[in-house]
Chains A and B, each alone.
Chain A
Amino acid sequence: MINDFLISFSLKNTYRVNGIIYCLKQIPLLGRLLPSSLYGAGGLKLFAGILSALWEVISTFAGKLIYMSLIFFGVQMICEDTLLPEGGVFLHMLFFLTAAGALMNTYMFNPSNDKYYAMILMRMDAKRYTLTNYGYTVLKVIIGFIPAVLLFGMLLSVPLWLCMLIPVFIAAMKAAVAAAYLLIYEKSGKTFNENGPSAVIWIIVLLLFGAGCVLPAIGFIIPRPVLLTAAAAAVALGILSCMKIIRFGSYREMYRRILTTAKSQVRAKQTQTADRSRSFISAKGDISSSRTGFEYFNDLFIKRHRRILWRSALRQTAVCVCLVLAAVAGVALFPQVQEDVNDLLMVYLPYFVFIMYAINRGIGFTQALFMNCDHSMLTYSFYKQPKSILRLFVIRLRDIIKINLPPALVIGAGLSALLFVSGGTDNPLNYAVFVVSIAALSIFFSVHHLTMYYLLQPYNAGLEMKSGTYKIVSLITYFACFAFMQMRLPTFAFGVVAICFCVLYCIVASVLIYKLAPRTFRLRT
């Protein structure tokens, strides 16, 4: 038994360590310094092994501490309003949340990769594998909960002996649920996947969650003796359940079903991406183009992808028109808000950096370009010639800007209109700054997305995202935009700076594209 556990644990550890090294290799620059032979090298392996062990310890305690602290603050909030005893509310909430958690988080029915590798690929004995690992998980639950329950339980004046018993109760509930699922499998052949619970389970969980949180909030908790009796019964049931879990004989057959369906679902998802992007191609017979060359090629692409490119942009525009009209009407009808709105308009322009980022269709556009067009076209040498790449880049840039511009113009004009009805401004240039800066932001994001796509081309032939740099740049873009949302700057100054920045960026991007894209715009291997 011990041996089985050690083998499965080292398997899981190897898989985790290799995962860590893989992640390190994804980091630009650092990744290039690390050769593949590192997967077999001792030093880094040890480092990753330490990280992995740390993760094992942290995952044992940290999650539970956070969970308990959330309950703790919930208890305090409820007790402030209702004058219920803190310890009582704590036990009440914990009882119901534990029941809900046991249903959702069984370990045994989580179709994780390490189980797939061990039981299906490596053909380890399913029963011994499951029992040893399940035993380890139960132990981790008990040990992991002890400090968290002790800390927050004592703070809420729950007696020590009760605090020590709560982790056992939690483990018992989990065992009872696992045994129940095993029984259901035996009786009906139904398997359960905790990552995709059925509607019935969801409803039960929601009811339990409601009973745990809503009842105390409206001033009702189950009296302690009743709770303790129920918990004692649960512990007894848990012990019986453990016997069931130990005696259960069909782990192999059960896991074969759970794990292979889970795997095939993952695989189906990958082909789904390809099928989904293919389904965006419109099969309407009347689509044609009178242009020639790359214009013809691009024209047909845009027309056959109208649904994902233009339709959502036009919808956004319609929504923006409605919002603008409502806002202008609102400000015109209620003179008392005019001064506030006018003040806000003069400092709120940075906020629109994030809005323009959020409504830009650039990512969808480049994804469609790759999945349905460049993914196949990049295998033809005529398409990869520098003059072809640059010619098509310019055409695409024009179209991506065109698609993104309508909502931007509406928003820009809307802000100017709002400024006018809310009392105007002493500098008439402000009206122009709104329109031009919002349009410039929209163009900036269009250029940005297409430039990133051409310079980093992040996908491989299997349509997976391969570039760590691309992910990092995307994250930075997101956080930069998010940071702008928190800023309050004078509209005129910010608008002018934004316009200049956008123009400058477009120039730099074009130069980079002309210099680098013929080399960087490739299929990743």
Chain B
Amino acid sequence: MDFVIEHLSKSYEKKNVLRDVSFSFKSGRIYGLLGRNGAGKTTLFNCINRDIESSGAFYFEENGLRREVKAEDIGYVLSTPTVPEFLTGREFLKFFIDINKDSIKNIRPLDEYFEYMSIAYDDRDKLMKDYSHGMKNKMQMLINIIARPNLLLLDEPLTSLDVVVAEEMKQLLRSLKGERVTIFSTHILDLALDLCDEIVLLSHGELEAVGKADLDSHDFKEKILAALREDEDD
């Protein structure tokens, strides 16, 4: 199954942030989305997630058949985790499963999900306003993966986590990549190279895959940096 973007354009006033972007992402792979500050990474995600209006089409393509991307196809994890702070972790999970019970396959007991995310037993019944940053992030991730979305968008999700949680999350993402397209935006080149199967650059409002060919990791890094530096010259 491929996730396809076709003719996506977005401009603010007169500035073209995304120019007629067309790209095809394959499932089972993690795509590292790299771009300079202000290149439009978050804008791209917001367009895909229909948070902002844009011209362009998004669809899944499987065996030559196309279908529109629906809201429930998408999981979107933001860099600053946002959870409803007036609920406990367990209540939030119960609520989410309640209203999505038709679309979630083989629902497990709640504690199993918490186990899976390594959220400690004591924390499950605490109000989320008292959760640490890392815990909120885990909760947000859990809610986003539980419905097994076909497309997982991650906007700088690991940058502010402590090393242990960050490592747990990386493992989790690797274990999840199987049946879906994962797009992971980051500023940290080493993280992208470590976690992602493909590197995609967003520059001049266009998406461009960087082929690794037979470069070693040092040369590959240099190639990416050189491509991103070009931005400065124009």
Contacts and interface: CB of A to CB of B under 8 A. Distances in A.
Given A281-B85, A522-B51, A296 B129 contact: no
A261 interface: no
A294 to B, nearest CB: 7
Interface string A294-323: 101100110011000000000000000000
Contact of B82 (A283, A376, A385): A376
B127 A281 contact: yes
Nearest to B94: A296
Interface string B9-25: 00011100000000000
A523 B85 contact: no
B52 A381 contact: no
A320 B217 CA distance: 75
Given A376-B83, A523-B51, A35 B147 contact: no
Interface in B37-92: 46, 49-52, 71-72, 74-76, 78, 82-87, 91
Interface stretch (B95-103, B208-216, B218-226): B95-103
Contact of A372 (B14, B51, B86): B86
Contact of A37 (B13, B50, B86): B13
Nearest to A282: B86
Contact of B84 (A293, A296, A377): A377
B143 A281 contact: no
Contacts of B52: 525
B129 A35 contact: no
B26 to A, nearest CB: 22
Contacts of A381: 49-50, 71-72, 74-76
Contacts of A37: 13-14
Nearest to A381: B71
Chain A's interface size range is 20 to 34
Given A523-B51, A525-B52, A380 B95 contact: no
A379 B76 contact: yes
Interface residues of B, number: 32
A293 B100 CA distance: 9
B226 to A, nearest CB: 32
B6 to A, nearest CB: 21
B13 A281 contact: no
A450 to B, nearest CB: 18
Contacts of A379: 76, 78, 82
Given A36-B13, A300-B91, A379-B78, A525 B46 contact: yes
A119 to B, nearest CB: 29
A285 to B, nearest CB: 9
A185 to B, nearest CB: 40
A305 B127 CA distance: 13
Contact of B95 (A296, A305, A385): A296
A292 B84 CA distance: 17
A182 B99 CA distance: 65
A95 B48 CA distance: 68
A35 B99 contact: no
A382 B86 contact: no
Contacts of B75: 381
Nearest to B75: A381
Nearest to B52: A525
Contact of A278 (B12, B14, B96, B129): B129
Nearest to A302: B86
Contacts of A380: 76, 143-144
Given A297-B95, A300-B86, A382-B71, A281 B147 contact: no
Contact of A293 (B51, B72, B95, B143): B95
A294 B87 CA distance: 13
A281 B94 CA distance: 19
Nearest to B14: A35
B46 to A, nearest CB: 7
23 contacts: A36-B12, A36-B13, A281-B129, A283-B127, A292-B98, A293-B99, A297-B87, A297-B95, A300-B87, A305-B86, A372-B84, A372-B85, A373-B86, A376-B82, A376-B85, A377-B82, A379-B76, A379-B78, A380-B76, A381-B76, A382-B72, A384-B50, A525-B46
In the complex, the 10 A-B pairs of residues with the closest C-beta atoms, listed nearest first: A376-B82, A381-B71, A35-B13, A293-B98, A281-B86, A304-B86, A293-B99, A297-B95, A379-B82, A292-B98
Interface of B: 12-14, 46, 49-52, 71-72, 74-76, 78, 82-87, 91, 94-96, 98-100, 127, 129, 143-144, 147
Given A278-B85, A373-B84, 6 more contacts: A37-B13, A293-B95, A296-B98, A381-B75, A382-B71, A523-B51
